[in-house]
Structure 1
Amino acid sequence: MTPSSPRAQQHATRAAFFIPGFATAAWAPMVPFAKAKAGLSDASLGGLLLCLGLGSLLAMPLAGALTARLGSRRLMIATTALILLTLPLLTLAPTPLALGATLFVFGAGVGAMDCTMNMQAVAVERDAGRPMMSGFHAFYSIGGFVGAGCMTGLLVLGTPLWLASLIAVAAMLLVALLSAPHWRPQRILHDGPMLAVPHGVVLFISVLAFVVFLAEGSMLDWSAVFLAEVRQVPRDQAGAGFAVFTLAMTAMRLFGDGIVERLGRTRTIVIGGITAAAGFALATLVPSFAMALVGYVLVGLGCANIVPALFSMAGQQRAMPESIAITAVTTLGYAGILAGPAAIGALAHATSLGFAFLCVAAMLLGVAASARSLARRLP
């Protein structure tokens, strides 16, 4: 069935971004429970979280190739089903091995969905003839805020973890049923290898995306642990950190297209990188739950429009074909989520979690410093 109208396609694309944002955020408040249940240290938790990122990383180039064969709608339906099936299993995995395997499959579903929806978003934005990328990514953030907020609220009310996960699945299923008929069915041309090694400006964009996704991944997987273990916040309230981070990111991305139009992509990246770095520093160096939340807000505000700007730049460059470049940037950018949690866990084990967060702040300052050089390399 062909989507009824361009507006229906746009709304359905926003819903596609909402689903993986909701799913990954619903997992964030579950992390301290999973860590305690399995008796994991920071380093071993980081190793298990590596499974989620590894599943995403391996699924992304495969999704790029399958979109050309199956069409984006079929692939998005399949990956949504995979997400919905595995999220409840994360609460039931009895051993670290089972948890790692489930995280791998869950990550594969999220990663494949992320890659496919970004390709669809580029096509929908082009057909609309106006900037829409920040708005689409805003709905990933909306999903993150709603998912983290709902899961945290259910846990505070005493809802069993397995039941809270089923409620989350039911909400995502409803969104998918309403939007899937309007997802674009066409096969997106992918004329090239499954994963082309990025070069030139595409490699530059990929490295910056890697850093920003690493920062976002640290919020997903370690913000609740930091609040619970360093700031001594009760575990059932520790998900509030990721909730305020996603709320700030959502609010900023809702206005992101207009902000990028006024400031330009380069200044947006510079200001965003500095703001996010300041947020990490504040949350880490000031020993206060309230100040940690303020810091997470700044991280969300700063990171909000960097990734959408980088995806738009990937579509603007001419060093590689657009579809292959977007797949490469998505894959290598999301490698930050693969490497980030494990690296932070290992560094926290050797030093402290606060020091690991300060290292992320330093890398974000590097993103800000690199923006003007990147802009000079684009047509």
Structure 2
Amino acid sequence: MYSLLLAIIYIAFISLGLPDSLIGAGWPVMHTALGVPMAAAGIITMLIAGGTIVSSILSDRLTQRFGAGLVTAVSVGTTAVALLGFSFAGEFWQLCLWAIPYGMGAGAVDAALNNYVALHYAARHMSWLHSFWGVGAAISPYIMSFALSSGRGWTGGYRIVGLLQIGLAAILLLTLPLWRQSKQQQQAAKTTAPKAPVAPLRLPQIFKIPGVPFVLAAFFAYSAVEQTAGIWASSYLAQARGVPLETAASFASFFYLGITGGRFLTGFVADRLGDRRLIRWGAGLALVGIALILLPLPTKAALAGLIITGLGCAPIFPAIIHATPMNFGAQYSQAIIGVQMAAAYLGTTFMPPLFGWLAGTITMNLFPIYLLLFGIILLTVTELLQRTLRHTKNIL
């Protein structure tokens, strides 16, 4: 039963990644078909992010009331319906409408699954699961490409992914007894599991927990580094470094390959090193990679620095999430992980556009400085988090 449920969760993490890169892969065709400017994609992503932030914050109440299994199944189903709604949309306003349940479903399942794994599974699984998210994010552009090349259009790409999500939602509903049985067994075996349910926490209560402001700042800073690097790396290499467009694009993709591959490799050592070392060493390695991009070294050093930055980023997000029950108590972990996801989505949503504005207003050469700033913030707040936890007797 343990292995079967874990396999289902792995599939669910692939499912989490599937929709995330669809709009990027399909938008060059979508905006022309819908008769809207290229920049209109920002409206869609903002609406999705808004729904995701709201549902992440509400995940504590939902999960306590309905359980992680049911929340995951319904959330995946909601996302599936929204994706199918995208596939039947003929006007831009319809995409805006469907973007709201799209984001609501994604945020709830993300928070619920991450907390469930943090409570009941070893650190290596958290790392590997997030690597599987990367697999899903890498697959969906190929699905969109297949739909476009086979004459199904961009709507066909969304329809394929929507149907895959419906299949997963059905599997999750059929396996709800496994979630309940696993929770009962593992709560009896683990001291980190909550002994009794507690009332859902309100935001002011969450912020008053020692260390929470630092961990939220860490998620915000990490997301700023990851998304800014992923979105703007190729533009920086081409414009500021004179790298050919094809090479710049391939090395930008290597950044994400570094994250995905790094998470897979980290899984083999995660239990031995522990979350604290993974966070510290990952942040340090990311800063080394950013330094290689920043320093006036040959272009090859900058290209290598981009890959090293991805490898450094790899363990940070999964390790901080996995450490949450130990850091703050299992009874509060769902509430805190929900707010952590919201902080991450805020960083993802607002920091890359801010850099785009700075690059257009000042210079693209600010790219490594911008990454360095958030990299230093990330390392600083994670160290402050550990100091606060040691002071409150919650040692990682």
TM-score range, shorter chain: 0.7 to 0.9
1:50-129 counterparts in 2 under 5 A? 50-90=46-86, 97-125=93-121
SS in 2 for 1:321: helix
Following superposition, the deviation at residue 148 of structure 1 comes to: 3.7
Residue type at the aligned position of 2:73: I
SS in 2 for 1:255: helix
Provide the residue aligned with 1:198 in structure 2. Answer: 207
- For 2:150 and 2:376, the matched residues in 1 are separated by 39
SS in 1 for 2:267: helix
Following superposition, the deviation at residue 21 of structure 1 comes to: 1.2
SS in 2 for 1:258: coil
> Could you say if the C-alpha distance between residues 143 and 48 of structure 1 is closer, same or farther in structure 2, counting changes exceeding 3 Å?
closer
Provide the residue aligned with 2:338 in structure 1. Answer: 327
SS in 2 for 1:87: helix
> Could you say if the C-alpha distance between residues 206 and 49 of structure 1 is closer, same or farther in structure 2, counting changes exceeding 3 Å?
same
- The 10-residue stretch of structure 1 (319-328 or 136-145) with the greater mean CA deviation from structure 2: 319-328
> Could you say if the C-alpha distance between residues 281 and 146 of structure 1 is closer, same or farther in structure 2, counting changes exceeding 3 Å?
farther
* 2:280 aligned residue (260, 270, 276): 270
Q: CA RMSD in A?
A: 4.0
> Is 1:306 aligned with 2:316?
yes
Asked if 2 retains the 8 angstrom alpha-carbon contact of 1:25 and 1:144, the reply is yes
- For 2:157 and 2:263, the matched residues in 1 are separated by 28
Q: Deviations over 1:152-198 (max 9, x none)?
A: 56657776222222233334444444455335544994523354432
Q: Deviations over 1:303-359 (max 9, x none)?
A: 111011111222112478333222232322332223334434443443456635641
Q: Deviations over 1:76-115 (max 9, x none)?
A: 1221122222235446656655444433332222111101
> Is 1:162 aligned with 2:162?
no
SS in 2 for 1:203: helix
- For 1:238 and 1:99, the matched residues in 2 are separated by 31
The count of corresponding residues between Structure 1 and Structure 2 is 368
Provide the residue aligned with 2:261 in structure 1. Answer: 251
- Structure 1, gaps ≥5 residues long: none
- For 1:96 and 1:154, the matched residues in 2 are separated by 20
- The 10-residue stretch of structure 1 (155-164 or 56-65) with the greater mean CA deviation from structure 2: 155-164
- The 10-residue stretch of structure 1 (71-80 or 30-39) with the greater mean CA deviation from structure 2: 30-39
Following superposition, the deviation at residue 294 of structure 1 comes to: 5.7
Residue type at the aligned position of 1:298: I
- For 1:96 and 1:282, the matched residues in 2 are separated by 42
- For 2:145 and 2:308, the matched residues in 1 are separated by 21
Give me the identity figure in percent.
Answer: 20
Q: Deviations over 1:23-80 (max 9, x none)?
A: 2133332344456652144xx6545532221111011122321122222222212211
Asked if 2 retains the 8 angstrom alpha-carbon contact of 1:119 and 1:323, the reply is yes
- For 1:40 and 1:373, the matched residues in 2 are separated by 41
1:211-226 counterparts in 2 under 5 A? 211-218=221-228
Provide the residue aligned with 1:210 in structure 2. Answer: 220
- Structure 2, gaps ≥5 residues long: 184-193, 390-394
- For 2:179 and 2:127, the matched residues in 1 are separated by 23
Following superposition, the deviation at residue 302 of structure 1 comes to: 1.9
- The 10-residue stretch of structure 1 (319-328 or 133-142) with the greater mean CA deviation from structure 2: 319-328
- For 1:285 and 1:213, the matched residues in 2 are separated by 23
- For 2:100 and 2:161, the matched residues in 1 are separated by 19
- For 1:89 and 1:284, the matched residues in 2 are separated by 44
Asked if 2 retains the 8 angstrom alpha-carbon contact of 1:79 and 1:110, the reply is yes
Provide the residue aligned with 1:142 in structure 2. Answer: 135
Q: Which protein, 1 or 2, shows the higher relative CO under an 8 Å CA cutoff with sep ≥ 6?
A: 1
- For 1:263 and 1:201, the matched residues in 2 are separated by 22
Q: Deviations over 1:89-143 (max 9, x none)?
A: 4466566554444333322221111011112212331xxx675321222222222
